[in-house]
Structure formats: structure tokens, C-alpha cells
């Protein structure tokens, strides 16, 4: 090679490397901008959420060997049933190799997937290598004719210089450079069976062979990379971590290799299995190892420097073949026998001291002045916890079988316990004193207990509200007959001015500080919770928020009484809201019948000022770590709790779920949007496609199918779309709806369809995906043709009017009109007519007309019409339909007619349409065909 060529080659390689370094830095900045975060390494291994897709729930195969993600967002899986594409909702099997492109003796089963830096998807299969471009939607298969030296691909790797390396199970390795393949084998120092390829921090390539150790590629040749104790072991996986430590998975343990030492870990050191098939380091620097026998483990360094292995707890063991981290930082697990799994960070956690008591039904919570957390159950038990420790479980006989719906502490430190039907109990030094309606309580079914700033206790019940005064100790009740808005009281709230707000099932009752004045708001609306806005401007007066049972969220401005409504029509996830919290970032957290909702107060204000079209209301549920999205005792204020540290606790049907708002990682990555297919009437256009322009003639109906490949709560993805000029505003498609837009009777012209989406956090993709097309008119749809037709008919009508006025009067018709109908001639015509109808049954001809029947009689049509009307008292239509119905009746009454369909009978007797048949049948018989058929006698004997 000449010096010039050598320098040119180095210069090209340096340019490639420079570009890749640039894109690497760009991606790092991009990810930082959107605050993407992966699996938190500081969380316990049992706090992550594990989702599963198998054949039993829609995944095409339980054997998955590899996974990759293309730039358009789709995940691709190599399975035993073929190549599978996933957008978060739908799995699609994609044909990637044509039969004529592979040998008849081979099958194209995908084994290994890799997405190159330029976005190309490479598919290593049992039949060779195939590339896929997401921009064109085209596949291209490479065979021995293109320079491939093997077929069963075991691994694919792209190096920093842009070379593609392809390893083979029973062969060696090929390198693709500038579109050409170069084969490397034993003549270059390499051994057979390439299972893994790694490029280390120095830019050197390491090749793990199945049974011959590790080889390093240098200057066109391969040199054995000495690692102690690897001889005669089968090597499955290899990765270099961020510290430069090389981890090698084998059939007999995991190796940790540094420049100084090599350490081997097996089940003796805590590994759940010795066959380490795959190893991966994620974006949070968690190191994961997948085993063939023991599931998934996270590898961590303990405080004393020792390596520990934390196994991901699962109810079912599965054999792992591959690990992959997607762009949303979830960890995907491909298995040999259990489909695919996905590990992600949950936003909610469960209260761990109660996990052993999953059979208990908890109804209420309370945090006392000593830091104890009290929890009441359905069967009357009291749990006392401190921090993450369960201190005691009380089972007082007085409360046995009573549902504990409310817990509060009085000024003396005694607990007051509300029940579902047994009134309230005061717990003091181990004794329980009961108060019921006999003692002045409004009702024995207690919903909530509230302690105001004076120490008074307010007991909310199903029959009103009762107040226990601090000084007098008396129990006074206040019901609807006394001015309370409704009978059932859900909650009580005290505002900054120490006024008392009472939330009832029929509105709000406001009591002033001295109880001298009563005011009502939102009459007739079931109010579940009230909250005063701490950020209300002084000049505008106090602002109160009200959660309702069925009417959404309300905002009340006290100064002028203005009420603003926020419902599902405005973007709220539901209209049924129970409890209300505000976090430190001015977000509202709402307990609802659709899980826990989060909506920003700033978002609500912007909506009021018309700055946003649709509210961004986020809902959280099981997919976010909650054990259940349904709640117990939801109308009680004790079903939810806000701690001093800012945590929110919720009593769900499966235990206590906790969220720390400031610790929630918001997914700010907007979802990519893909238009998958367009239908022009019945003509289908698949995507992606290289064509930039689409023109159709005479098309009026267009249908679009689109999707947004994302995998964090894909069921919560919302879309909006429009065709400019057709819709003035965006059309919003709620989450869960079919991802289709249909346009009917589109006018001819150029149109651009635009669609975009937001993720589960409400982050919209500002770059809408668009599709431009032109609908051309048929010649008869053009304006010129319409003008010509208009002029033609104008001239035609004018000519007809002129001829009519000028033509001589028809003497024959005039003579007929002035004469009477000849009786003998009419009788002859009637006899011939009856023969045609009753014998020849001309009515069976569904195309017979007055003119064609008159022709058969050799008389003018107007004469036949006159005979029918004057002599037979029927018009032509009734006369024919009468005979048709008579024959239909005979068929229906016959034994063979019982097995004949009514529609067949209608067509047999000459009806063109079933609607006409049914109408005529009812006219002449007074019954429907079905009724007539059911009424026929079944016994024909004498």
C-alpha cells in the first residue's frame, strides 16, 4: 500500500470516528436535556416492577434470542416464530427474507439483532444476514454471493470506525467495511465459534469464542487474550464496564477480569446459577447478569468491597438469553421459555411492614403526635407502626367485627376511632368507650373525624355531623333539617380564617368562625373533599378547590362566587375524585376512581386563560407500582395521608401505596409518532415508503392508521390530529381509543394530514408526523364540467318548454280523455290480464313495469292504468304486490315453506327489496311474515 493511500485511509477512519464521537456527545446532551433516568441503583431489587408477555397473553413465541430498537421507536424481537415488531400495544410478525433469497435447505429464523449507528437494523439469522431501513421499509438479504463466509449468525457488533463485525456459531467472523465483507479465520489466528464481541475503552476488539477463550484483534490478526481458568469453558457473554473491568459469562461461572486480577464467581459466591448467558451494564451503571438456571441478578459491590449478587424475585423461574436497555431506560429480558420480561422503576411503593398481612383489608390511616402510624382494618384490628417497623397489632374485643373507618387524636392524646355502624370509640390507656346515636351522635356510620384548631372533634356520618366541644365535652349534632346541605357528610375542612367547610353529598355548607352564619355552595353536587389554595393572590380573595363524586374538579373564588369546572371534557381523566393533596412543586394529587391523578396547578391556570386547549392530567395505577388502582373507604379523609416529609399514602384494596412526588422521575422524552398505513377508499399505502408524493383521482374517503412506539404506560398515550383546512382545531384522541382517523367526502385538492402524541406524563411531541397527498377530480367533478352540464340542461329545458307550447294538440289522447271506457273492451282486457297474472305469474318478474305489461296485452299503458284503477280499484304497484303476497302466503303455509328463509320467499315471488316485501305483507295481511308463519296450524288432520 502506498503512503498516500495509507494516509487517505487513516483520514477517512478519523472522520468516521470524529462523527461518531460527535453523535455520542450529542446523545449524552440530549438524554441530559430530557432527564432520562434508568433503574435507580439505590433502590432495593424487590422494588422494581416486572412485566411479562408470553404466548398466553399475545406474544407470538416464548423463545426470544435477541432484541433491538430502531430510530422510529419500535422494538424488534428475534423469536422462534420469526421477526416480531412491537409498538407497546401490538405485536406484529414481520417477514424479513424472501424465499428466493435463501437456500431451500435453510430457514430464515432470526437469531441476533443490532441497530447500526446510522439506524439500519441488522438481522442475523439461521440463513445469513439481512438489513432493514426504517426510512424505506425495505429489507436486503446478504449471502455468500455478497462475501459472507457463514450463515448461523451468533453475534453482531459495530466498532467505533463504523465497521460491522458478524460472528458465526460454527464459524469465524466477517467484517463489513464500505459495503464489502472480509472474512477472518484460523489463517489470521482466530478460532471457531464466536459468541461475543466487545470493543474496549482503548478501541481494541475482543472476541469470545465458544470453547477457545478470548482473542484480541490487532492490525489484521488475532492474538489470544490470556485470561486464567478460561480453558475448556464455554464462553457465552462478555462486557466491559465503565471502570474498564471485563466481565465474562461462561457455562461455569462469571469472571471479573482487570489488568491485575481475575476472579471467578459461582453459586458458591452467591450466584443463583453458573450458566451466565448474558451480561449488560445499563445507563445507571447497574451491572446485570442473566443466567440459564437462576433468573436475573444485579451485581453490586458491598461496603466492604465484596461483590454481592441480588436476584430479581419472581414467582416463576425463566431461562435468560439476552438483556437490552431501551431508550426509556427499561430493562428487557429475552428468555428461552417464558417470552419477554420488562424491568422498570416504579413510581409507587408499598408499605413494607404490612406486606406480610396482604389478606387484611385496611380502611383508614392516621399519624399521631408521637410519630406512630395507626391503620384500621375491616374486621376491627388496629396496626401501630413506626417508620418501617410494625410495633403492635391490637384486637380489642369492643371493636371486633367493626370496620374502622376513621382515626383521630384529641388534645389529651387519646385516640378516637370511627366505625362502620358502631359509632365512635375513645381509646384511653387501653380502655375503649363507645359513643352512639344514644349519646347524641348523628349516625352510627362514621365516615371521617376532623380535629379543628380549637381541638373540637367533628364526626362526619351518614346522617349528619356531630361536634364534640373541647371545654364542655358535649356532643352536638347538625343535620340537613338544621340547614346542612346534605344528609351524608364526607369531610370537614378548616380554612385560614378558621371557618369550617363541610363537604356533603348535596353540596358545601360553610360555617363562620362563630357559627353565626351559614352559607351554601355547589348545591346538589356531591362534594368529597375541600382544599384552600395557599397561593391565592390577596387582591382576588381566597380560592377553594372542591373534589366531587361525578362532577370533576371545581374551583371557587370566594370574592365573587365564581366557580370554574374541570371535567373529562377538558382533559381530566375522570369526574369522580375523592381526596386532594398538593405537593411542593404545585401539583395536585387526586385520589379517584381511575387511580391517582396528577395535574399541575399552573396547567389549570393556563387552561383558564386559554393558553392550552386540553388539560394534561396524568393518571397512575398498577403499571406505576400501585398494588391496586381501586381504594377502600374512599370517601373518608382517612383513606389518604400526607406526611410531614411530603409523602402521600393511599389505602388501596391491596394494601398501602406510597408515592414521594419529588422522587418521581418524569419521562420527558416525547413519543415518536409513525403513520403505519393509509387507505384511499380501498387502496392501501403501507409505511414507511420512499414515495414523497401521492396523487389519486376520484377518491373521497381517506383513513389513517398511526401509532407511537413507547413502552412506559403505552395505554395512556394520547394523540391529536388534523388536516389543515378541514379542521380548524386539533382533534384529540383519548387514551385507549383505536389509533385511526377517518375522513369521508374529502374535497379534491392538496391535503396534509398531521398527527402527534404525548406520553403518559403528558409530554407532547412538538414535531408532528405528516402525510401530504392530492385528490384529483374526475372530469365530471370539475367546475368546467359542472358549468357545461348546467348550461346544457338550461338549454334543454328551454327547448322543451318552447316545443310544448308550439306543438299541435294530440287528438287521439284528447279523444280518449273525453270518452268513456268501452265496457266490453275492458272485460276482454281484464280476462287476458288475469291469465297473465294467475296462470303465467308475470308478477314474479321483478323487472316488470306498467309499460311492459301493457305491451303483453297489446294496449297503451294509459289504458291499462285506467282499467286497473277504475275496474279493479288498484294501481299497478298494489295489483302486482297483492298477487305476490298471495303466493308468498301459500309458500309460507306449505310444509316445505317452514324450512325456507323469508328472504328467499320474497325474492321468489318477485320483490327486489326486502323492505318493500315486509311493507306490502303487513299492508295486505296485517302481520309480519314471521308472525304469519308462526300462526300457521301445525295439525292438518280432521
pLDDT in tens, 417-438: 999 999 999 998 889 999 999 9
pLDDT band per the 50, 70, 90 thresholds, residue 126: confident
Counting Cβ atoms within 10 Å, is residue 300 exposed (0-12), middle (13-18) or buried (19+)? Answer: middle
Counting Cβ atoms within 10 Å, is residue 470 exposed (0-12), middle (13-18) or buried (19+)? Answer: middle
Query: Does residue 380 register a pLDDT over 60?
Result: yes
Query: Does residue 24 register a pLDDT over 70?
Result: no
Query: What is the per-residue pLDDT across 389-415, written as a single tens digit (0 to 9) for each?
Result: 999 999 999 999 899 999 999 999 999
Residues 834-846, buried b or exposed e (16+ Cβ, 10 A)? eeebeeeebbbee
pLDDT band per the 50, 70, 90 thresholds, residue 16: very low
Say how far apart CA 354 and CA 656 lie, in whole Å. Answer: 8
- Poorest-confidence range of 7-21, 151-165, 468-482, 506-520? 7-21
Residue 443 and residue 436 in contact, taking contact as beta carbons nearer than 8 Å = no
> Given 3-state DSSP classes, what are the helix, strand and coil percentages for the chain, each rounded to the nearest 5?
20, 35, 40
Residue 130 and residue 142 in contact, taking contact as beta carbons nearer than 8 Å = yes
- Which alpha helices (H) appear in 894-936, and where do they start and end? 902-908, 914-925, 929-934
Other C-beta atoms closer than 10 Å to the C-beta of 805 total 7
Query: Does residue 29 register a pLDDT over 50?
Result: no
**Residue 34: predicted pLDDT:** 44
* Secondary structure class of 690 (helix, strand, coil): coil
Mean pLDDT of all residues belonging to the chain? 88
* Mean of pLDDT values over 195-213: 93
Grid cell 403501507 in the structure block, residue: 686
**Pairwise pLDDT comparison (9 vs 709), residue with the higher score:** 709
**Pairwise pLDDT comparison (305 vs 461), residue with the higher score:** 461
Query: Does residue 774 register a pLDDT over 70?
Result: yes
pLDDT band per the 50, 70, 90 thresholds, residue 257: very high
Instruction: Please spell the DSSP secondary structure of 375-429, one letter per residue.
Output: EEETTS-EEEEETTEEEEEE--GGGTT--EEEEEE-TTS-EEEEEBSS-EEEEET
Query: Does residue 688 register a pLDDT over 70?
Result: no
Query: Does residue 559 register a pLDDT over 90?
Result: no
If we measure between CA atoms, which residue out of 763, 708, 712 comes closest to residue 39?
712
Q: What cell numbers appear for 933 in the block?
A: 308463519
Terminal-to-terminal C-alpha distance of the chain: 115
Angstrom CA distances, 207 to 189, 219, 405, 643, stand at: 12, 15, 65, 54
Angle between helices 823-834 and 850-857 (to 10 degrees): 110
Say how far apart CA 90 and CA 353 lie, in whole Å. Answer: 38
Say how far apart CA 655 and CA 357 lie, in whole Å. Answer: 9
Residue 561 and residue 553 in contact, taking contact as beta carbons nearer than 8 Å = no
Say how far apart CA 942 and CA 794 lie, in whole Å. Answer: 72
Distance of alpha carbon 274 from its chain centroid, rounded? 39
Q: Is the previous residue joined to 688 through a cis bond, with omega within 30 degrees of 0? A: yes
Instruction: Please spell the DSSP secondary structure of 15-83, one letter per residue.
Output: HHHHHHHHHHHHHHHHHHHTT---S-TTS-GGGSEEEEE-GGGT-S-S-EEEEEE-TTS-EEEEETTEE
- Poorest-confidence range of 33-42, 445-454, 890-899? 33-42
Angstrom CA distances, 170 to 152, 153, 190, 192, 209, stand at: 7, 9, 13, 6, 10
Angstrom CA distances, 924 to 690, 871, 918, stand at: 64, 19, 10
pLDDT band per the 50, 70, 90 thresholds, residue 5: very low
**Residue 807: predicted pLDDT:** 56
- Poorest-confidence range of 9-23, 223-237, 364-378, 560-574? 9-23
pLDDT band per the 50, 70, 90 thresholds, residue 33: very low
- Poorest-confidence range of 165-174, 564-573, 814-823, 892-901? 814-823
* Secondary structure class of 810 (helix, strand, coil): coil
**Residue 779: predicted pLDDT:** 62
Grid cell 430510530 in the structure block, residue: 71
Segment of 477-481, 755-759, 794-798 carrying the highest mean pLDDT: 755-759
**Pairwise pLDDT comparison (935 vs 128), residue with the higher score:** 128
Query: Does residue 755 register a pLDDT over 60?
Result: yes
Say how far apart CA 441 and CA 433 lie, in whole Å. Answer: 14
* Mean of pLDDT values over 544-559: 95
pLDDT band per the 50, 70, 90 thresholds, residue 687: low
- Poorest-confidence range of 369-378, 623-632, 826-835? 826-835
Distance of alpha carbon 649 from its chain centroid, rounded? 26
pLDDT band per the 50, 70, 90 thresholds, residue 517: confident
**Residue 896: predicted pLDDT:** 75
Segment of 558-562, 754-758, 827-831 carrying the highest mean pLDDT: 754-758
Instruction: Please spell the DSSP secondary structure of 576-593, one letter per residue.
Output: BEEEEEE-TTSEEEEEEB
Query: Does residue 50 register a pLDDT over 50?
Result: yes
Beta bridge partners of 122: 114, 131
* Mean of pLDDT values over 25-47: 64
**Residue 703: predicted pLDDT:** 94
Say how far apart CA 572 and CA 564 lie, in whole Å. Answer: 14
pLDDT band per the 50, 70, 90 thresholds, residue 695: confident
Say how far apart CA 446 and CA 465 lie, in whole Å. Answer: 9
Residue 586's region, left for phi above 0, alpha for psi from -120 to 50, else beta, is left
Other C-beta atoms closer than 10 Å to the C-beta of 450 total 22
**Residue 290: predicted pLDDT:** 96
Query: What is the per-residue pLDDT across 314-361, written as a single tens digit (0 to 9) for each?
Result: 878 899 999 999 999 999 999 999 999 999 988 999 998 998 898 999
Say how far apart CA 271 and CA 864 lie, in whole Å. Answer: 101
Amino acid at each position: 500500500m502506498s503512503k498516500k493511500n495509507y494516509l487517505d485511509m487513516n483520514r477517512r477512519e478519523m472522520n468516521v470516528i470524529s462523527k461518531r464521537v460527535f453523535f455520542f456527545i450529542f446523545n449524552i446532551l440530549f438524554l441530559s436535556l430530557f432527564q432520562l433516568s434508568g433503574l435507580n441503583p439505590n433502590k432495593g431489587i424487590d422494588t422494581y416492577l416486572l412485566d411479562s408477555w408470553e404466548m398466553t397473553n399475545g406474544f407470538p413465541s416464548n423463545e426470544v434470542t435477541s432484541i433491538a430498537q430502531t430510530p422510529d421507536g419500535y422494538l424488534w424481537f428475534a423469536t422462534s416464530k420469526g421477526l416480531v415488531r412491537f409498538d407497546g400495544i401490538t405485536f406484529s410478525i414481520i417477514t424479513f427474507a424472501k424465499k428466493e433469497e435463501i437456500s431451500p435447505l435453510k430457514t430464515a429464523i432470526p437469531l441476533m439483532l443490532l441497530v447500526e449507528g446510522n439506524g439500519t437494523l441488522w438481522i442475523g439469522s439461521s440463513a445469513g444476514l439481512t438489513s432493514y431501513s426504517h426510512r424505506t421499509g425495505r429489507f436486503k438479504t446478504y449471502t455468500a454471493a455478497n462475501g459472507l463466509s457463514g450463515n448461523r449468525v451468533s453475534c453482531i457488533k459495530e466498532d467505533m470506525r463504523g465497521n460491522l463485525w458478524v460472528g458465526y456459531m460454527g464459524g469465524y467472523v466477517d467484517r463489513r467495511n464500505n459495503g464489502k465483507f472480509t472474512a477472518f479465520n484460523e489463517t489470521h489466528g482466530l478460532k471457531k465459534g464466536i459468541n461475543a464481541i466487545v470493543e474496549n475503552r482503548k478501541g481494541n476488539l475482543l472476541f469470545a469464542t465458544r470453547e477457545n477463550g478470548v482473542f484480541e484483534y490487532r492490525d489484521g490478526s488475532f492474538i489470544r487474550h490470556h485470561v486464567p481458568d478460561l480453558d475448556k469453558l464455554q464462553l457465552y457473554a462478555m462486557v466491559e464496564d465503565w471502570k474498564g473491568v471485563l466481565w465474562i459469562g461462561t457455562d461455569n461461572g462469571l469472571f471479573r477480569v482487570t489488568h491485575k486480577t481475575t476472579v471467578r464467581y459461582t453459586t458458591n459466591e452467591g450466584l443463583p446459577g453458573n450458566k451466565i448467558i448474558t451480561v449488560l451494564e445499563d445507563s445507571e451503571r447497574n451491572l446485570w447478569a442473566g443466567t440459564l438456571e437462576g433468573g436475573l441478578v444485579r451485581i453490586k459491590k458491598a461496603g466492604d468491597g465484596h461483590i454481592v449478587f441480588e436476584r430479581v424475585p419472581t414467582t416463576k423461574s425463566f431461562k435468560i438469553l439476552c438483556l437490552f436497555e431501551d431508550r426509556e431506560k427499561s430493562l428487557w429480558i429475552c428468555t428461552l421459555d417464558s417470552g419477554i420480561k420488562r424491568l422498570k422503576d416504579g413510581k409507587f411503593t408499598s408499605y413494607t411492614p404490612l406486606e406480610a398481612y396482604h389478606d387484611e383489608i385496611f380502611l383508614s390511616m392516621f399519624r399521631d403526635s408521637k410519630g406512630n402510624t395507626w391503620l384500621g382494618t375491616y374486621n376491627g384490628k388496629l396496626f401501630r407502626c413506626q417508620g418501617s417497623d410494625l410495633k403492635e397489632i391490637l384486637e380489642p374485643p369492643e371493636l371486633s367485627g367493626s370496620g374502622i373507618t376513621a382515626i383521630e387524636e384529641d388534645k389529651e392524646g387519646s385516640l378516637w376511632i370511627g366505625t362502620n355502624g358502631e359509632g365512635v370509640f375513645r381509646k384511653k390507656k387501653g380502655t375503649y368507650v363507645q359513643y352512639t346515636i344514644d349519646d347524641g351522635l348523628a349516625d352510627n356510620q362514621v365516615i371521617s373525624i376532623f380535629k379543628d384548631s380549637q381541638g373540637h372533634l367533628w364526626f362526619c356520618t351518614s346522617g349528619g355531623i356531630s361536634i364534640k366541644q373541647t371545654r364542655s365535652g358535649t356532643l352536638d349534632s347538625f343535620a340537613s333539617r338544621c340547614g346542612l346541605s346534605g344528609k351524608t357528610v364526607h369531610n370537614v375542612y378548616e380554612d385560614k380564617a378558621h371557618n369550617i367547610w363541610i363537604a356533603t353529598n348535596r353540596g358545601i355548607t360553610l360555617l363562620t368562625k362563630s357559627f353565626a352564619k351559614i352559607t351554601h355552595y355547589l348545591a346538589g353536587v356531591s362534594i368529597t373533599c375541600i382544599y384552600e389554595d395557599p397561593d391565592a393572590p390577596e387582591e382576588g380573595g381566597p380560592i377553594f378547590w372542591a373534589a366531587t363524586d361525578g362532577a370533576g374538579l371545581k374551583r371557587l373564588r370566594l370574592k365573587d362566587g365564581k366557580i370554574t369546572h374541570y371535567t373529562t371534557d377538558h382533559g381530566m381523566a375522570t369526574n369522580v375524585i375523592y381526596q386532594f393533596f398538593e405537593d411542593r412543586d404545585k401539583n395536585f394529587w387526586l385520589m379517584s376512581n381511575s387511580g391517582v391523578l396528577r395535574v399541575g396547578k399552573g396547567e389549570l391556570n393556563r387552561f383558564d386563560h386559554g393558553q392550552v386547549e386540553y388539560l394534561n392530567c396524568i393518571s397512575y395505577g398498577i403499571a406505576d407500582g400501585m398494588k391496586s388502582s381501586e381504594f377502600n373507604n374512599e370517601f373518608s379523609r382517612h383513606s389518604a395521608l400526607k406526611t410531614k416529609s411530603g409523602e402521600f399514602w393511599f389505602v388501596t384494596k391491596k394494601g398501602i401505596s406510597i408515592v414521594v412526588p419529588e422522587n418521581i422521575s418524569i419521562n420527558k422524552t416525547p413519543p415518536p409518532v409513525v403513520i403505519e398505513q393509509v387507505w384511499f377508499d380501498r387502496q392501501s399505502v403501507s409505511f414507511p415508503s420512499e414515495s414523497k408524493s401521492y396523487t389519486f383521482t376520484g377518491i373521497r374517503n381517506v383513513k389513517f392508521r398511526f401509532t407511537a412506539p413507547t413502552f412506559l404506560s403505552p395505554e395512556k398515550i394520547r394523540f391529536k390530529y388534523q388536516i389543515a383546512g378541514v379542521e380548524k382545531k386539533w382533534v384529540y384522541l383519548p387514551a385507549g381509543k383505536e389509533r385511526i382517523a377517518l375522513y369521508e367526502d374529502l374535497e379534491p385538492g392538496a391535503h396534509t394530514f398531521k398527527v402527534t402524541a404525548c406520553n403518559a406524563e403528558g409530554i407532547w411531541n412538538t414535531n408532528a408526523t405528516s402525510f401530504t397527498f392530492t385528490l384529483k377530480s374526475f372530469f365530471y367533478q370539475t367546475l368546467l364540467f359542472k358549468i357545461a352540464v348546467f348550461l346544457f340542461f338550461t338549454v334543454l329545458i328551454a327547448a322543451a318548454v318552447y316545443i310544448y307550447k308550439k306543438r299541435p294538440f294530440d287528438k287521439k289522447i284528447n279523444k280518449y280523455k273525453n270518452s268513456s271506457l268501452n265496457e266490453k273492451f275492458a272485460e276482454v282486457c281484464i280476462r287476458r290480464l288475469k291469465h297473465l297474472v294467475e296462470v303465467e305469474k308475470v308478477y314474479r318478474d321483478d323487472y316488470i313495469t306498467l309499460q311492459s305489461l301493457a305491451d303483453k296485452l297489446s294496449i297503451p299503458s294509459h289504458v291499462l292504468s285506467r282499467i286497473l284503477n277504475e275496474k279493479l280499484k288498484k294501481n299497478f304497484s298494489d295489483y302486482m304486490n297483492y298477487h305476490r303476497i298471495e303466493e308468498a302466503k301459500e309458500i309460507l303455509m306449505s310444509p316445505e315453506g317452514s324450512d325456507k328463509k323469508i328472504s328467499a320467499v320474497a325474492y321468489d315471488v318477485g320483490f327486489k327489496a326486502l323492505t318493500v316485501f315486509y311493507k306490502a305483507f303487513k299492508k295486505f295481511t296485517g302481520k309480519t311474515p314471521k308472525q304469519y308463519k308462526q300462526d300457521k296450524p301445525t295439525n292438518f288432520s280432521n
